[in-house]
């Protein structure tokens, strides 16, 4: 991934404090992507209100106050076209179906594989997809 491939896109990452919180941020340090961090669902929605130019969101399913599913529903009401990735600790058919029903574009299981995340960056932030 080159440092200017994605320009100055903003990505919102909403994850609980604890293990694995910085793994996506570390991946994004190699890019010019601006990372907005939230620790709760309410904080994520507030950041989306303050940054309508956000190009992608990553929510943990187990966020405090509003879980990742409810946060996705609210985020969709603010920005229907925003690509949203849901991070789960355990993935099964029910989890994937629920994520799709609330509007998630992708479900990733922790721990996040760097190569998989880079593919999603290419898919959702590529200038070809947003011209």
Sequence spans of domains, the chain: 10-129
Question: Is the preceding peptide bond at 67 cis, omega within 30 degrees of 0?
Answer: no
State the pairing for strand pair 54-60/84-88: parallel
Give pTM, 2 decimals: 0.87
For 59-92, the pLDDT digits (tens) are 999 998 999 999 999 999 999 999 999 999 888 9
For 87-125, the pLDDT digits (tens) are 998 889 999 999 999 999 999 998 888 889 989 998 998
pLDDT for residue 27: 76
How far is Cα 87 from Cα 24, in angstroms, rounded to an integer?
A: 11
Architecture of the domain delimited by 10-129: 3-Layer(aba) Sandwich (3.40)
CB 68 within 8 A of CB 59: yes
């Amino acid at each position: 991934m080159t440092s200017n491939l994605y320009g100055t896109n903003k990505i919102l990452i909403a994850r609980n404090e604890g293990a694995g919180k910085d793994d996506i941020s570390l991946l994004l340090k190699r890019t010019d992507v601006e990372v907005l961090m939230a620790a709760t669902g309410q904080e994520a929605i507030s950041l989306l209100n303050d940054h309508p130019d956000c190009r992608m969101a990553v929510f943990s399913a187990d966020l405090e106050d509003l879980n990742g599913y409810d946060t996705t529903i609210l985020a969709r009401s603010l920005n229907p076209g925003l690509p949203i990735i849901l991070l789960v600790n355990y993935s099964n058919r029910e989890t994937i179906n629920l994520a799709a029903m609330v509007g998630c574009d992708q479900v990733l299981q922790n721990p996040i594989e760097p190569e998989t995340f880079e593919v999603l960056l290419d898919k959702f932030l590529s200038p070809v997809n947003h011209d």
